[in-house]
Amino acid sequence: MKWVFAYLKPLRARITVGILVKIIGTVAELMIPFLLTHILENVISTNNVGKILFYGALMAICAVIACLGNIIANRMAAKTTMKFSTEMRRDLFSKTLNLSARNTDSFTIPSLESRITSDTYNVQNFIGMMQRMGIRAPILLLGGTVITFAMDRKLALVMVATLPLIFIVVYSISRKGVPLYSKVQQSVDGMVRVVREDAQGIRVIKALSKVDYENARYDRANKALKKNETKAGIIMGVVNPVMTLLMNMGIVAVVAVSAYLVARGESSAATVIAFMQYFTLISMAMMSLSRMFVMYTKCAASAKRISSVMECVSEIKHCEDDGKGDESLHVSFENVSFSYLGKKKNISDVSFSLKKGETLGIIGATGSGKSTLLSLLMRFYDVDEGVIRINGKDVRSYTKEELTAMFGVVFQNDFLYADTIEENICFGRDISREDIESAAKIAQAHDFITSFPDGYEHSVSAGGTNLSGGQRQRVLISRAVAARPEILILDDSSSALDYRTDASLRRALSESLPESTVITVAQRVSSVKNCDLILVIDEGAIIGCGKHEHLLATCSEYKEISDSQMGGAFLD
């Protein structure tokens, strides 16, 4: 919870003013029963109408101050809470985007989503309640207790005797609440994961008539959440009934003792009336505190989850270059090995090199490690063994900004967001309309874009669902090409293109980006056959390396892929 105060510190002036206003309003509220007792005991007996009206007006003023004070303080608390939560969510989202790939894998995307949404909401609610009730409730509790002691110590002792019992109950139950609500949030992660997966695959689910199956899968996640929420609710739900029982027992004890004292002439009816009012205020304060304890358990569990992300340290560190690289080589892998989990090697002893402007094709079976090579090159992960160099320098010696500026990339499962085609290609970068259109022409996208009535202003739905698969891929390639990257990576990005369009794309890339090193991962031999170097990958190892003709003669796996796809014939 310490990190919360870092966000509240810049707001301390507004919080301080809000606290002062809340204190004034609460003190005014405490004065009302005291003034009523004074009127009943000392003013009415004088038959002085002026005094009665004066103290009556004083009570009315206190009531107005209490009302206005609470309204103003609550409005200030709401603004402060919104400012706090906005900053917190912004930084958490930014941290999430900057997590290393390994950290993201560890947290999982659904869990990060629920931390940004439901967890931040729990913390926000608690901070807001602390400003509204966290000031008022203790003042009512302590102030009411002090005033009642000043009025009648015996009755006050009877009333206060129940408070330690209430505190023990609330504290004991609240200690169990934090781990329970941690489990609830983990269940929320599971449910978010199912919803996220089904939202992305809704068309496939409908096409394969698996709606009932996915309903059952969601129902399992929902029931797991229900089970954990019910358990937490049952435990935490004990607080209010037990508090009500103890407070009612206190009221009964106060009434019994006060009746005895009044009968003996040791107390007055006016004092008893005031006591009942103060006891009601104190009861309300205790109920508010119990609600705060319940919310604190949720907040503490959520804050811990948020803190684990905010304090997460990336394993990606800046290193000094060893100076052993060959500057004439644009990209080079030197005996690179890597494992995601530290057990089985996903990449084993991979070595190859490319000069500036050369093209590399990577082909292999699904899961053979093709995309992993790209992730290592872009330093989403660090190699376990060996070195990857760009322009002769270890990729670990580049800053993040320097490294990412070199790449244009289209991933297998890339995304389009709900905006115009132009904005999806521009992607928030300073790219002119002329360069955007030029990139679209290279990507063979210009013709279909201009066929829309609104052209480049055509709106794309989230995920590009209102475009065909080939159109989406060409828009994504346009985005990657638009900034004229030093290294262009196409990770199975033309799988939805017909052979003629794919061939036209390769020619356009060769002609328009002669200085760019192009790396293509593909399942089709036709997409890589004209590359300067082709790697055939199997289980993370290179089993074939060379040009198309060389591989046909020396690599049986490559020849088998080639023959099975096109019978050895290709469309140029």
pLDDT at 334: 93
Residue with tokens 């052209």: 455
Is there a single domain that holds both residue 491 and residue 371?
Answer: yes
Q: How are beta strands 533-538 and 347-354 bridged, if at all?
A: unpaired
For residues 169 and 451, the model is more confident at: 451
Task: Examine the fold and report which residue of 456, 484, 512 is the final residue of a domain before the chain moves on.
Answer: 484
- The whole domain housing 434 covers 413-484
Least trusted range by pLDDT, from 34-43, 81-90, 381-390, 552-561: 34-43
Is there a single domain that holds both residue 329 and residue 397?
Answer: yes
Is there a single domain that holds both residue 367 and residue 457?
Answer: no
| Cα torsion angle, 456, 424, 491, 205, sign | negative
* CATH number of the domain encompassing residue 51: 1.20.1560.10
Is there a single domain that holds both residue 449 and residue 502?
Answer: no
Nearest CA among 422, 381, 417, 409 for reference residue 487: 409
Chain-wide mean pLDDT for the chain? 85
Is there a single domain that holds both residue 392 and residue 528?
Answer: yes
Is there a single domain that holds both residue 364 and residue 387?
Answer: yes
540 with 370: CB under 8 angstroms? no
The mean pLDDT value for 209-219 works out to 84
294 with 181: CB under 8 angstroms? no
Least trusted range by pLDDT, from 176-180, 195-199, 487-491: 176-180
Instruction: Quote the CA–CA distance of 448 and 464 in Å, as a whole number.
Output: 14
141 with 325: CB under 8 angstroms? no
Q: What is the percentage of the chain residues whose pLDDT exceeds 70?
A: 97
pLDDT grade, residue 529 (50/70/90)? Answer: confident
Q: The tokens of 171 are what?
A: 């504290």
Instruction: Quote the CA–CA distance of 385 and 286 in Å, as a whole number.
Output: 61
Instruction: Quote the CA–CA distance of 24 and 18 in Å, as a whole number.
Output: 10
Instruction: Quote the CA–CA distance of 458 and 461 in Å, as a whole number.
Output: 10
For residues 464 and 535, the model is more confident at: 535
Is there a single domain that holds both residue 247 and residue 375?
Answer: no
pLDDT at 400: 87
pLDDT grade, residue 236 (50/70/90)? Answer: confident
Nearest CA among 161, 166, 130, 141 for reference residue 30: 141
Is there a single domain that holds both residue 517 and residue 458?
Answer: no
| Backbone torsion region of residue 349, taken as left when φ is above 0, otherwise alpha when ψ lies between -120 and 50, otherwise beta | left
Say yes or no to pLDDT of 29 above 90. no
Is there a single domain that holds both residue 562 and residue 429?
Answer: no
Say yes or no to pLDDT of 160 above 80. no
pLDDT at 264: 78
Task: Examine the fold and report which residue of 287, 310, 333 is the final residue of a domain before the chain moves on.
Answer: 310
pLDDT at 92: 92
Is there a single domain that holds both residue 15 and residue 106?
Answer: yes
* CATH number of the domain encompassing residue 461: 3.40.50.300
* Cβ-based neighbour number of residue 197 at 10 Å: 15
pLDDT at 178: 65
pLDDT at 532: 92
Instruction: Quote the CA–CA distance of 107 and 105 in Å, as a whole number.
Output: 6
For residues 21 and 258, the model is more confident at: 21
Instruction: Quote the CA–CA distance of 474 and 443 in Å, as a whole number.
Output: 5
For residues 155 and 139, the model is more confident at: 139
Is there a single domain that holds both residue 306 and residue 322?
Answer: no
Task: Examine the fold and report which residue of 484, 507, 542 is the final residue of a domain before the chain moves on.
Answer: 484
Least trusted range by pLDDT, from 80-84, 88-92, 186-190, 382-386: 186-190
The mean pLDDT value for 287-313 works out to 83
* Cβ-based neighbour number of residue 375 at 10 Å: 18
Q: Give the model confidence (pLDDT) of 57-71 as tens digits.
A: 998 999 999 999 989
pLDDT grade, residue 486 (50/70/90)? Answer: very high
Is there a single domain that holds both residue 499 and residue 539?
Answer: yes
pLDDT at 332: 94
Nearest CA among 366, 367, 372, 328 for reference residue 350: 372
Q: The tokens of 97 are what?
A: 């985007």
The mean pLDDT value for 312-318 works out to 85
Q: Give the model confidence (pLDDT) of 134-147 as tens digits.
A: 888 888 888 888 88
Least trusted range by pLDDT, from 88-102, 203-217, 548-562: 203-217
pLDDT at 567: 59
pLDDT at 348: 92
Domain count for the chain, please give it: 3
Say yes or no to pLDDT of 571 above 70. no
